[in-house]
C-alpha cells in the first residue's frame, strides 16, 4: 500500500526537511511570532472585553472562541502557501531538483514529502496555540462537536492552501513569482469568494424583487457561501451565515442542504488532490502519457 | 552500455542535438568534447532521464530512457554541470540523505559514507557543513553522491570545470580510480587535452552534431608525430596551397589570408623539401615556422569524416 502511495512514514526527504527546518532560527522565530499574534489578539480582546465586568457569560466566550478560530484560519491561509510556495521552485533555484529526480525518489514522493513536512510544521503552529484555546474553552459555551468542526476545517484548509502553494511552486521556476501567485490565490479564496458570494446574493435578491415583486429566496447560495473558508468556519457556530438570508422561508438550519464542514471537505479534498496531481506531473521530467497515443 | 540512435533535441526551433549516434561499451570511458553550447549537457540530461528527446532514442544498459526511466536511474550516477548543495546539512548528512533516496538500508550507510568520503579525499570534512566547502570539495562531494548506490554508469558533465589546477588533478586521479573499478563513464569537457589521457574514446560534438569519433590509443601515435607548419607569404597564398596540399604527409592544409597552415606528419627532411619546393616555384615566403599541433585541431584532422 505504501508503495502505491509512493510514500513512507519517514522517508529521506522528510527527515532532511525536518532536520533543516529545526536547525534554522526561522522556525522558533516564526513560532514565536505566530503565538504572539494569536495570543496577543485573544488576550487583548479578553482584557478589553472583560476588564470592567464582574462575571462572564458563556455566549460571549463563544464569540471569543469564534474570533480566535477565524484568526487562526486566516493565519493558516497565509502560512501554508508561504511554506509550500518555495518548496519545488526552491529546489530548482538551488539546482538540486535534477539530482533528486535521478534518485529512486519518485516525483510523487518528493511532492508529498514536501507537503507533509510543511503541513506538519503548520500542525505544530496550530498545536502550539492549544493552551490559548484551552483558556478560552474553559469559559464554556462551546460543544465538543463544534471543536471537532473547527479542527476538521483546519485540516482541510491546511491541505488546500498547502497544495495551492505546492502547485504554484511546481508551475513557476522562480520562488518569488510562485509565492506572489500563491498568496494572491489564497487571498482570493479567503476574501474574493466571500465578496463574490455576497454580490451574487444581492444580485439574486434584486432580480427576484424585479421579476416576482417579492423576495423568494435562493437556498442554493449555500453551495457558494460554504466554499469560503471563513464563512464555512463561522457556520460551525452560526449556521445561518452560509445562507445569507436566502433560506426560502424556512429556518436557516433547515435550509442547509448538507453539513457545511462535510461539504467543505467533499469539495476541497478532491481539489487539493487535483492540484497535487498536476504538481507531480509538472515535476516529472519524463511524463507518463495520460492517454497513450495510438501507435503510428 | 550506452547507446543513442538518431537522438535529436529541439528547444523550440533551435536544434540543440542533431541526429546523434553514440555507442559506449561497458567499462569504457568516453570523452565528450565540444565548445560551450554544443549540446553536451543536453545529451547528458537525456541520458540521465531528466529530459525527453524530441526524436530518436537513448538506451542505458538496454533500457530506454523515456520508457524505463526507473531502471535507468538505478544504473546511473549523474553529476550535472551545475548543481547546488543543501545548506544546513553536514557532508555526512548530505550523503546519508542521498543514500536514503536510493533506499540504502540505514545500518549500511555509515560504512558506505566513510568509504565514499575516503575515495574523494573528504574524510576530514565529514562533519563540516556542505555550504562551507570549497568549489573543488563540493565537486568531489557531488562525485561521492553519484556513487552512493554503486552505479555501473557515471554521467559526469564537466566535473573539472571551474576548478583550479590542483583540484583538477585531484579530480582526475579520482576518475582514474573509478575507471579502474570498471565503471562505464561518459565525461564531458570543452577542453580536449583534459580528457585525452583518461578516455578510451573521444567524441567531438559541435552545434549538436557529432563531428568526430575515435578511440584514443588508435590516434595517439598519429597525434604524436603531428606538426602544424605555419608558412607566411607576402602574397599568392592560394597558389602555395595548390602546390602542397596533395603532397605525401600533408594531411590537411588551410589558407588564412596570407598564411598557409599545413598539417604535416612527415620527417624533417621532408619538411626541408617542402619549403624549398615553395621557394623554387617563386613564391614569396616570408617566414616558415613549426608549431606543436593544437590537439583539438589535430584530432579533427586525423579523424576527418568519421562522424559524418
Ligand atoms: N532549456 C533550454 N531552452 C532553450 N535553449 C536551451 C536550453 N538549454 C540549452 N539550450 C541551448 O541549447 C544549446 C546546447 O546547450 P548545452 O547542451 O547546455 O551545451 P553544452 O553543455 O555543450 O555547453 C545551447 O545553445 C543552449 O543555449
Ligand atoms: Mg554544458
Nearest protein Cα to ligand 1, atom 26: B37
With pLDDT > 90 as the criterion, what percentage of chain A qualifies?
Answer: 45
- Cα A69–chain centre separation: 12
Position A212 pLDDT exceeds 60: yes
CA–centroid distance, residue A290 to ligand 1 (Å)? 28
Pairing of strands B209-215, B285-292: unpaired
pLDDT of residue A295: 38
Segment A39-53 shows an average pLDDT of: 79
Domains of chain B by residue range: 2-88+144-217, 226-291
Q: What is the pLDDT of residue B77?
A: 95
Per-residue pLDDT, A6: 45
Q: What is the mean pLDDT of residues A89-95?
A: 92
> Cα distance from B103 to chain A (closest Cα, Å)?
7
- Residue predicted with more confidence, A186 or A13: A186
Q: What is chain B's alpha carbon radius of gyration, rounded to the nearest angstrom?
A: 23
In Å, how far is A20's CA from the nearest CA of chain B?
6
**pLDDT tens-digit profile of B14-68?**
999 999 999 999 999 999 988 888 999 999 999 999 999 999 999 999 999 999 9
- Give the DSSP letter string of A189-234: IIIIHHHHHHHHHHHHHHHHHHHHSS----TTHHHHHTTSHHHHHH
Alpha carbon distance B220, A203 (integer Å): 85
pLDDT of residue A3 exceeding 50: no
Report which of residues B11 and A59 the model is more confident about: B11
User: Averaged over A249-278, what is the pLDDT?
Assistant: 90
**Per residue in B65-78, pLDDT tens?**
999 999 999 999 99
Cα(A128)–Cα(B112) distance, integer angstroms = 40
Nearest by CB to residue A103, choosing from B93, B96, B101, is: B101
Which of A155-169, A175-189, B285-299 bottoms out in mean pLDDT, i.e. has the lowest?
Answer: B285-299
pLDDT of residue A114: 92
**A78, pLDDT greater than 80:** yes
Taking the centre of ligand 2 as the mean of its atom positions, its distance from the CA of residue B37, in whole angstroms, is 7
From CA A59, how far away is CA B107, in angstroms rounded?
58
Average pLDDT, stretch A211-217? 82
pLDDT at B272: 87
The answer to whether the CB of B11 is under 6 A from ligand 1 is yes
Strand order in the sheet with B14-24: B14-24, B2-11, B55-60, B63-64
> Which of the four pLDDT bands, split at 50, 70 and 90, describes residue A1?
very low
Fold (topology level) of B2-88+144-217: Rossmann fold (3.40.50)
Query: A95 pLDDT exceeds 80?
Result: yes
Mutate to test the pocket of ligand 1, among B33, B39, B206 (most ligand atoms within 8 A of CB): B39
B226-291: CATH topology: Alpha-Beta Plaits (3.30.70)
Residue A5's pLDDT band (cuts 50, 70, 90): very low
Distance CA A150, CA B63 (A): 52
Q: pLDDT tens, B123-151?
A: 999 999 998 999 889 999 999 999 999 99
Q: Which residues surround ligand 2, an ion (CB under 5 A)?
A: B 41, 81
Q: What is the pLDDT of residues B237-291, one digit of tens each?
A: 888 888 888 888 887 888 888 888 888 877 888 888 888 888 888 888 888 887 7
Mean pLDDT of the region A24-37: 86
Q: Rounded to a whole number, what is the largest CA-CA distance in chain A?
A: 83
Which residue numbers of A have CB closer than 8 Å to B's CBs? 11-13, 15-16, 19-20, 23-24, 94-96, 98-105, 285-287
Residues of A in contact with B80 (CB under 8 A): 95, 98-99
Asked if pLDDT for residue A262 goes beyond 50, the answer is yes
Report residue A294 as a C-alpha cell: 495510438
Q: pLDDT band for position A292 (50/70/90)?
A: very low
pLDDT tops 50 at residue A107: yes
Amino acid at each position: 500500500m505504501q508503495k502505491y502511495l509512493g510514500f513512507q512514514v519517514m522517508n529521506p526527504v522528510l527527515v532532511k526537511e525536518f532536520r533543516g527546518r529545526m536547525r534554522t532560527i526561522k522556525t522558533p522565530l516564526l513560532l514565536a511570532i505566530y503565538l504572539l499574534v494569536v495570543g496577543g489578539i485573544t488576550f487583548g480582546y479578553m482584557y478589553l472585553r472583560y476588564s470592567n465586568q464582574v462575571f462572564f457569560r458563556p455566549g460571549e466566550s463563544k464569540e471569543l472562541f469564534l474570533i480566535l478560530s477565524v484568526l487562526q484560519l486566516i493565519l493558516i491561509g497565509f502560512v501554508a502557501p508561504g511554506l509550500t510556495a518555495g518548496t519545488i521552485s526552491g529546489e530548482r533555484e538551488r539546482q538540486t531538483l535534477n539530482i533528486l529526480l535521478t534518485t529512486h525518489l519518485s516525483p510523487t514522493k518528493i511532492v508529498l514529502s514536501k507537503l507533509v513536512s510543511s503541513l506538519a510544521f503548520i500542525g505544530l503552529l496550530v498545536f502550539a496555540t492549544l493552551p490559548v484555546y484551552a483558556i478560552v474553552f474553559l469559559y464554556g459555551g462551546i460543544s465538543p462537536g463544534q471543536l471537532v468542526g473547527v479542527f476538521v476545517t483546519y485540516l482541510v484548509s491546511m491541505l488546500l492552501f498547502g497544495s495551492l502553494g505546492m502547485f504554484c511552486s511546481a508551475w513557476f521556476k522562480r520562488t518569488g513569482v510562485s509565492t506572489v501567485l500563491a498568496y494572491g490565490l489564497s487571498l482570493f479564496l479567503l476574501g474574493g469568494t466571500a465578496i463574490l458570494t455576497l454580490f451574487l446574493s444581492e444580485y439574486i435578491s434584486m432580480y427576484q424583487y424585479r421579476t416576482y415583486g417579492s423576495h423568494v429566496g435562493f437556498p442554493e447560495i449555500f453551495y457558494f457561501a460554504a466554499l469560503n473558508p471563513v464563512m464555512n468556519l463561522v457556520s460551525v457556530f452560526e449556521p445561518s451565515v452560509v445562507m445569507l438570508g436566502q433560506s426560502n422561508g424556512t429556518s436557516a438550519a433547515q435550509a442547509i442542504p448538507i453539513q457545511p464542514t462535510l461539504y467543505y471537505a467533499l469539495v476541497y479534498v478532491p481539489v487539493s488532490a487535483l492540484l497535487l496531481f498536476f504538481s507531480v506531473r509538472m515535476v516529472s521530467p519524463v511524463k507518463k502519457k495520460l492517454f497513450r497515443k495510438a501507435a503510428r | 552500455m550506452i547507446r543513442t540512435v538518431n537522438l535529436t533535441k529541439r528547444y523550440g526551433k533551435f536544434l540543440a542535438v542533431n541526429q546523434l549516434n553514440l555507442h559506449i561499451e561497458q567499462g569504457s570511458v568516453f570523452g565528450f568534447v565540444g565548445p560551450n553550447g554544443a549540446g553536451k549537457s543536453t545529451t547528458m540530461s537525456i541520458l540521465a532521464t531528466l529530459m525527453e528527446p524530441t526524436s530518436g532514442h537513448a538506451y542505458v544498459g538496454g533500457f530506454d530512457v523515456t520508457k524505463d526511466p526507473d531502471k535507468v536511474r538505478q544504473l546511473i550516477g549523474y553529476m550535472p554541470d551545475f548543481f547546488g548543495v543543501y545548506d544546513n546539512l553536514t557532508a555526512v548528512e548530505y550523503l546519508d540523505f542521498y543514500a536514503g533516496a536510493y533506499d540504502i538500508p540505514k545500518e549500511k550507510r555509515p560504512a558506505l559514507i566513510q568509504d565514499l568520503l575516503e575515495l574523494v579525499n573528504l574524510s576530514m570534512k565529514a562533519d563540516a557543513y556542505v555550504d562551507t566547502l570549497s568549489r573543488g570539495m563540493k565537486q568531489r562531494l557531488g562525485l561521492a553522491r553519484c556513487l552512493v548506490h554503486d552505479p555501473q554508469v557515471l554521467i559526469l558533465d564537466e566535473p573539472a570545470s571551474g576548478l583550479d589546477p590542483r583540484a583538477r588533478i585531484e579530480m582526475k586521479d579520482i576518475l582514474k580510480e573509478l575507471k579502474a573499478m570498471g565503471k562505464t563513464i561518459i565525461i564531458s569537457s570543452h577542453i580536449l587535452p583534459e580528457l585525452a589521457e583518461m578516455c578510451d574514446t573521444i567524441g567531438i560534438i559541435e552545434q549538436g552534431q557529432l563531428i568526430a569519433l575515435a578511440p584514443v590509443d588508435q590516434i595517439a601515435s598519429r597525434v604524436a608525430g603531428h606538426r602544424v607548419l605555419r608558412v607566411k607569404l607576402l602574397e599568392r597564398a592560394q597558389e602555395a596551397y595548390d602546390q602542397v596540399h596533395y603532397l605525401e604527409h600533408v594531411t590537411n592544409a588551410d589558407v588564412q589570408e596570407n598564411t598557409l597552415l599545413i598539417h604535416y606528419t612527415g620527417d624533417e627532411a621532408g619538411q626541408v623539401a617542402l619549403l624549398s619546393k615553395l621557394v623554387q616555384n617563386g613564391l614569396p615566403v616570408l617566414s616558415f615556422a613549426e608549431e606543436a599541433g593544437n590537439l583539438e585541431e589535430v584530432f579533427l584532422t586525423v579523424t576527418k569524416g568519421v562522424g559524418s
